[in-house]
Amino acid sequence: MFELQRFIHDVPSQIAVDVQPVLPFKEAKAVLVERFEREYVLQLLRRCAGNITRAGRESGLHRKSIERLVKKYQLDTRALKPARPPVSIRAGARR
């Protein structure tokens, strides 16, 4: 818990939270949590080149949890994977 408290105090003040006070608290919180989850998983998968297993390891979440979030937010992990080189360029390709 101490680490989390220190992290929270170290977060730059320029990180803004888009709070919608016109919504009831519970709904506003749900909107913020969804935004956080989607952005967190998207950035994590970008860093892990779309590899769900690696993303799970790095985040401390189970691979299935990452898969559920990918499905929930309709994220395309294939688009995050590096492009494969053409067959003629791949190592060991015969001509």
Least confident of 49-53, 74-78, 86-90: 86-90
> What confidence tens digit (pLDDT) does each residue in 39-52 have?
999 999 999 999 99
Q: How confident is the model at residue 91, as a pLDDT?
A: 61
Q: Give the residue among 46, 39, 37 at the shortest CA–CA distance from 65.
A: 37
Is residue 5 in some structural domain? no
Is residue 64 in some structural domain? yes
How many Cα neighbours within 13 Å face the side chain of 11? 10
Domain that holds residue 60: 20-76
pTM of the model: 0.69
Is residue 12 in some structural domain? no
* Alpha-carbon span 32 to 74, nearest angstrom: 18
Is residue 92 in some structural domain? no
Residue pair 75/41 in contact by the 8 Å Cβ criterion: yes
Q: Give the residue among 20, 69, 71, 18 at the shortest CA–CA distance from 44.
A: 69
Residue pair 69/41 in contact by the 8 Å Cβ criterion: yes
> What confidence tens digit (pLDDT) does each residue in 19-75 have?
667 889 999 889 999 999 999 999 999 999 999 999 999 999 999 999 999 999 999
Is residue 68 in some structural domain? yes
How many domains are contained in the chain? Answer: 1
Whether the pLDDT of residue 85 is over 70: the answer is: yes
Is residue 14 in some structural domain? no
Place of tokens 């994220």: 75
Is residue 3 in some structural domain? no
